[in-house]
Structure 1
Amino acid sequence: MDNTAWILKKYFVDKWRRTLRRKIRLHNIANAEEALKYKSLEEMTEFFTKNFSPHKNVKELFSGYAITQSTLNQIKHNTLIYSSIDDPCVPIGPLQELVQTDYVKFKPQEYGGHCGFIDDFKFSSSVYDEIVSKLDKDKI
């Protein structure tokens, strides 16, 4: 996320700081104030990973989110994986290297960013509509 447009980076860092200040105030979280000094999401994530999680580092933390071929091969229910080509946090390349299975199909979208597949300023989402339709019809 730190390698994206400065306005997105600023938005998410500021949003995380606001949330963090509120949580520190409400829950008296020891040592969390140090995270407020960091200017990047990567630094903040590294701080929280080292100080508030069982993981040794960010790489280990994010490995738990990885979609691997082994994981896909274990899925035995119809599954659609929506991903966004323009996601600044999760690159689509590794996903595109995986092989779809009889149960798992990929639905890459040109746009969608990291936080949603929003089509317009009314917050419409064709992906949302497709998912609802599939759930209603197919009972995925």
Structure 2
Amino acid sequence: MHKWRHSLLAKQKAFPQHQYFEMSELKQDLRGLTESLVRRHTDFNSLQQYLDGYSVAGDALMAMQIPATILTARDDPVIPVGAFEQLRLPPNVELDIAEYGGHCGFIRGRNMTSFTDDYIAARFNALADGAPGR
């Protein structure tokens, strides 16, 4: 069974008062399950509409005028790192690719804390000091 299925089962067990999915939906592939969850839990009419709603592909970020950092991981099992490497970004948007981090994981130890807390704090501190984020 895929890790994401275990994660969903654990979430359902932790919050039995909510119905996040039907057990039969877990038999689908990730795309099929995502479509089921989008239809069940969002106002989007289709999976494609949902995906288009947060896509940053192509020139979508070129008009961005504020400084930003995109943090992703080379070992992300959901979004291949090549998709990030192909982004067209304005000079004020930094792409930071960590070797490890999975899909939003960025776990730094057995205590399951994320290194993103310190990462974000360092970025804000650098901005407050007038220095680049690194």
Paired with 2:41 and 2:105, the residues of 1 have a C-alpha distance of 27
Q: TM-score, normalised by structure 1?
A: 0.71
Any gaps of 5 or more consecutive residues in structure 1? Answer: 1-5, 25-31
Unaligned runs of 5+ in 2: none
**How far is the alpha carbon of 1:104 from its aligned partner?**
0.4
In the other structure, the counterpart of 2:66 is: 77
Matched, 1:17 2:12: yes
Per-residue deviation at 1:49?
2.8
Which position in structure 1 is the counterpart of 2:85?
A: 96
Judged with a 3 Å threshold, the aligned counterparts in structure 2 of structure 1 residues 93 and 11 are, in CA distance, closer, same or farther, namely same
49, 52, 57: which one aligns with 1:60: 49
Question: Of residues 101, 112, 126 in structure 1, which corresponds to 2:101?
Answer: 112
Aligned alpha-carbon RMSD (Å): 2.7
Q: Residues 88-135 of structure 1: CA distance to partner in whole angstroms, max 9, x if unpaired?
A: 222222221113321101001111011321122133544432321221
Structure number with higher relative contact order (C-alpha < 8 Å, ≥ 6 residues apart): 1
Superposed displacement of residue 7, structure 1: 4.8
Alpha-carbon displacement from aligned partner over 1:41-98 (angstroms, at most 9, x marks no partner): 5433322333554433222211212113433111111111001111122222222111
Higher normalized helix content (fraction of residues): 1
In structure 1, give the amino acid aligned to 2:90. Answer: T
Aligned length: 127
Secondary structure at the aligned position of 1:22 is classed as: coil
Superposed structure 1 runs of 4+ greater than 6 Å apart: none
Q: How far apart, CA to CA, are the structure 2 residues paired with 1:129 and 1:52?
A: 32
